[in-house]
Amino acid sequence: MRKLTLPLSDADVRSLHVGDPILLSGVMLTGRDTAHTYFLDELLKDPLPESEKDVAAAVRPLLQGGAIYHCGPVVKKVDGGYSFVAAGPTTSIREEPYQGDVIKHFGLRVVIGKGGMGAKTLAACQEYGAIYLHAIGGAATLIAKTVAQVEGVYKLEFGVPEALWRIRVVDFPGVVTMDSHGQSIHEKVEADSRAVLQRLMKG
């Protein structure tokens, strides 16, 4: 079991391969559909809109060498702040149209979710040095216990599930299922399943 701390270097990422279990610690962001379109539609503008400068200044350093977790958390207010009640992974393929460009433009190293992603994201992982970390579906409350602190939230106007939650995690568990060497467990499972289906249909 590898223990890694964010932000990750290119060497960290290139040393990982599909099947490697890791425990990830450090500060990362949650982000779903609205977050990804926001990154690409607003934070890449030149000049940057005045209204987005504060968020950009906070978010860009977290993405550089960092991780984004496809998660719509269940959150409660505590003592003037927030805590995560549940933090299960969202199905990642929804972000396939955007993820490769986010990796490219923001220096993202780790994408976390469930179900895997497609060819565009895999190509970006290989070219720019990133991995896809498969989180445990159905373990939302267990994963929430790895969130040591909710450090803040950006764009809460998107709604709680779609907002950018800044969280500090300790020993967040996952398995590398897409690596920076062009390997994808999800791609292999799909190809193997297709071959079995064809054999069955031939009778």
**Which residues are known to be catalytic?**
36
- Can you tell me which residue has the tokens 């223990």? 3
Report how far residue 135's alpha carbon sits from residue 24's, in angstroms, rounded to the nearest whole number.
11
What 8-state DSSP symbol labels residue 24?
A: E
**Interior angle at CA 171, CA 166 and CA 176, nearest 5:** 95
**174 Cβ contact list (under 8 Å, min separation 6):** 21, 22, 24, 112, 133, 134, 135, 136
CA dihedral 85→81→171→130, nearest 10 degrees, is 100
